[in-house]
Amino acid sequence: AFNWLLCNVIQTTSLHDILWHFVASLTPAPLEPEEEEDEENKANKENAEQEKDTRVCEHPLSDIVIAGEAAHPLPDTFHRLLQTISDLMMSLPGGSSLQQMALRCWSLKFKQSDHQFLHQSNVFHHINNILSKSDDGDSEESFNISVQSGFEAINQELCLVTALKDMTSIVDIKTSSRPAMIGSLTDGSTETFWESGDEDKNKTKSITINCVKGINARYVSVHVDNSRDLGADLDSRHIGWITSELPGGDNHIIKIELKGPENTLRVRQVKVLGWKDGESIKIAGQISASVSQQRNCESETLRVFRLITSQVFGKLISGDAEPTPEQEEKALLSSPEGEEKVY
Query: pLDDT at position 103, please?
Result: 92
Question: 22 lies in which domain range?
Answer: 2-157+290-341
Q: Establish if 282 belongs to a structural domain.
A: no
At residue 152's C-alpha, the angle toward residues 151 and 155, to 5°, is 90
Residues 216 and 99 in one domain: no
Q: Which domain-ending residue is among 229, 254, 276?
A: 276
Q: Exposed, middle or buried by CB within 10 Å (0-12, 13-18, 19+), for 284?
A: exposed
Give yes or no for residue 171 having a pLDDT over 70: yes
Q: Establish if 285 belongs to a structural domain.
A: no
Number of domains in the chain: 2
Query: For residue range 46-67, what is the model confidence (pLDDT) as tens digits?
Result: 555 544 556 788 888 777 776 6
Q: Establish if 281 belongs to a structural domain.
A: no
Query: pLDDT at position 174, please?
Result: 92
Q: Which domain-ending residue is among 234, 249, 276?
A: 276
Q: Establish if 46 belongs to a structural domain.
A: yes
Give yes or no for residue 312 having a pLDDT over 80: yes
Q: CA 306 to CA 318: how far, in whole Å?
A: 11
Query: pLDDT at position 321, please?
Result: 47
Q: CA 18 to CA 12: how far, in whole Å?
A: 10
Q: Establish if 13 belongs to a structural domain.
A: yes
Residues 88 and 127 in one domain: yes
Residues 6 and 129 in one domain: yes
Residues 92 and 173 in one domain: no
Confidence class of residue 148 from pLDDT cuts 50, 70 and 90? very low
Burial 301-327 (b: 16+ CB within 10 A, else e): bbebbebbbebbbeeebeeeeebebee
Residues 91 and 194 in one domain: no
Q: Which domain-ending residue is among 242, 276, 310?
A: 276
Residues 295 and 272 in one domain: no
Q: Are 230 and 262 in contact (CB under 8 A)?
A: yes
Give yes or no for residue 341 having a pLDDT over 50: no
Residues 12 and 135 in one domain: yes
Confidence class of residue 340 from pLDDT cuts 50, 70 and 90? very low
Query: pLDDT at position 342, please?
Result: 37
Query: pLDDT at position 208, please?
Result: 92
For residues 237 and 110, the model is more confident at 110
Query: pLDDT at position 227, please?
Result: 60
- Report, as an integer, the average pLDDT of 78-83: 90
For residues 111 and 149, the model is more confident at 111
For residues 80 and 259, the model is more confident at 80
Q: Establish if 284 belongs to a structural domain.
A: no
- Report, as an integer, the average pLDDT of 33-37: 51
Residues 297 and 251 in one domain: no
Mean pLDDT over the full length of the chain: 76
- Report, as an integer, the average pLDDT of 168-185: 91
Give this prediction's pTM.
0.53
Q: How many CB atoms lie within 10 A of CB 69?
A: 6
Going by the DSSP 8-state scheme, the letter that residue 33 receives in this structure is P
For CA atoms 19, 16, 309, 30, the dihedral sign is negative
Q: Establish if 283 belongs to a structural domain.
A: no
For residues 41 and 169, the model is more confident at 169
Query: For residue range 177-219, what is the model confidence (pLDDT) as tens digits?
Result: 999 999 999 998 988 999 998 888 888 889 999 988 888 888 8
Q: CATH number of the domain that 200 lies in?
A: 2.60.120.260
Residues 205 and 230 in one domain: yes
Q: Are 212 and 170 in contact (CB under 8 A)?
A: yes
Q: Establish if 123 belongs to a structural domain.
A: yes
Residues 266 and 242 in one domain: yes
Residues 197 and 325 in one domain: no
Residues 123 and 193 in one domain: no
